[in-house]
Amino acid sequence: MPGYRVGNGYDVHRLTEGRKLILGGVEIPYKEGLLGHSDADVLVHSIMDALLGACGEADIGKHFPDNDMSYKDISSLLLLKKVKDILDAKGYQISNIDSIITAEKPKLSPYIDEMKANIAAVLQLDKDCIGIKATTSEGLGFAGRGEGIAAYAVAAICK
């Protein structure tokens, strides 16, 4: 019998001036970007943590520490490829990923197809195996005040 496993991930980064806004590997035109050691792509970070959790690994902070300068400003899609390599080495295949981005602004729906294509390409999956939704928090909390963006992800893997 195949062994199915599920993991979930969450990430949040503060919005700040002087940074590009990168989500799902897509540069989104906006007045602010996400603050972080890498490109601070919260969507990809949440997916990485979901995949790592599903196969029993430590989180991205352990695998890609923010005090390691080799990860400074790196594309999170490159880190996602390293996570895929970990899963491959352990004999796991990704079944599907579902995710939600919480941001008051900017409007993200025009970019979701490209985000899905980027993530699917890195993980060598069909685009229909990647779910990405965007929502607001109706003006509530840090995301609602425009202070940051959060992302949640669930990943299913099998052996």
Beta bridge partners of 155: 7, 97
Number of domains in the chain: 1
Are 123 and 116 within 8 A, CB to CB? no
Confidence of residue 2 (pLDDT cuts 50, 70, 90): low
Q: Which residue has the tokens 């390409």?
A: 121
What band does 3 get if pLDDT is binned at 50, 70 and 90?
Answer: confident
Percentage of the chain modeled with pLDDT above 90: 94
For the domain that residue 154 is a member of, what is the CATH number? 3.30.1330.50
Alpha-helix runs per DSSP H in 21-111:
42-54, 60-63, 76-89
Q: Tell me: pLDDT of 108 over 70.
A: yes
β pairing state of 4-16 and 148-158: antiparallel
Q: Which helix (H) or strand (E) holds 114?
A: helix 112-123
Residue 1 is predicted with a pLDDT of 45
Q: What is the pLDDT of residue 132?
A: 98
Say how far apart CA 29 and CA 11 lie, in whole Å: 21
Mean pLDDT value across residues 31-49: 97
Please write the tens of the pLDDT for every residue from 43-89.
Answer: 999 999 999 999 999 999 999 988 989 999 999 999 999 999 999 99
Nearest by Cα to 131 from 87, 92, 100: 100
| Residue range of the domain that includes 58 | 4-158
pTM value is 0.96
* 5-28 average pLDDT score: 97
User: Residues 110-124: what's their mean pLDDT?
Assistant: 98
